[in-house]
Structure 1
């Protein structure tokens, strides 16, 4: 260039590209939302797994009760154990259910069966009636005669329906 033409000009200098740290506020907000969603998802999965294991333990306990009855053939102990198991499981559906007595307890159990089966009232009029009086009779009383197979099958159906209904409400 000709020195008489003027001062020598330099080209425009661009600033350095922005660094990746610290992130913009939007990225911080997105990270916070992601952590909250992750914590909620883990908590929900943990709760679902805990409930699934509890339902499996309840079903396994009913099978242990049935196996114990098959060994001992004690109808009174069977009705006591099945009633206690159903009372514990019923607290998931309605906390007040475990305190129900007499016909109200059997009506509650019938009400939480599938619609077609509830109309037949198998607890109030069928094998489930044994839950009401068999635990309180003498073991040698002929009135203690309990249809054990029907009672265990009824308890299985009730647990299957009630625990599935509880799981869908959770």
Structure 2
């Protein structure tokens, strides 16, 4: 060896940059993100399914209660009772409301036609009840019953 060659110390390469991470870390991060997304979707699907199932049970109970009615007048009375029960469960004390206050509670947007509203009026004399009016009332009451029961969950 020649003495003319300068001796140099061993130099280390520069420190690796922290960005971008190694591909392995990127894959692990992607898998974790995908797993969290799937978990969130499963939780949302479970909550939706439970809510739907609860609504179906409420509507089945509504239909069972009305199945026991023998005639149209008895069905109207059963509908009125179910609406009172739903109002009481949604907001305790609602069952004690009368006349205008009761209608503001049961039908706040006044979506029920006057003919069907008269059927549900307290103490209304119902010698002859039209089946078509009862069918409209049943459809409306079913949706309103469900809406009032859902109010108590909020």
TM-score by length of 2: 0.53
Q: Within 5 Å, which residues of 2 pair with 1:110-129?
A: 110-114=107-111, 117=112, 120=114, 122-123=116-117, 126-129=118-121
Would the aligned equivalents of 2:55 and 2:146 in 1 still touch at CA under 8 Å? yes
Q: Where is the helix percentage greater, Structure 1 or Structure 2?
A: 1
Structure 1 residues 90 and 105, CA gap change in structure 2 (3 angstroms): same
Separation in 1 of the partners of 2:52 and 2:67?
A: 23
Highest relative contact order (Cα 8 Å, sep 6+), 1 or 2?
2
Match of 2:96 in 1: 100
Q: Give how far 1:74 is off.
A: 8.0
Q: Within 5 Å, which residues of 2 pair with 1:67-78?
A: 67-69=67-69, 72-73=70-71, 75-76=73-74, 78=75
Q: Which structure 1 segments of 5+ residues have no match? A: 135-142
Count of residues paired in the alignment = 136
TM-score by length of 1: 0.49
Would the aligned equivalents of 2:82 and 2:145 in 1 still touch at CA under 8 Å? no
Q: Give how far 1:113 is off.
A: 4.2
SS in 1 for 2:94: helix
Structure 1 residue 158 corresponds to structure 2 residue 141: yes
Match of 2:129 in 1: 147
Q: Which structure 2 segments of 5+ residues have no match? A: none
Match of 1:52 in 2: 52
**Aligned-residue CA RMSD (Å):** 4.5
SS in 2 for 1:3: coil
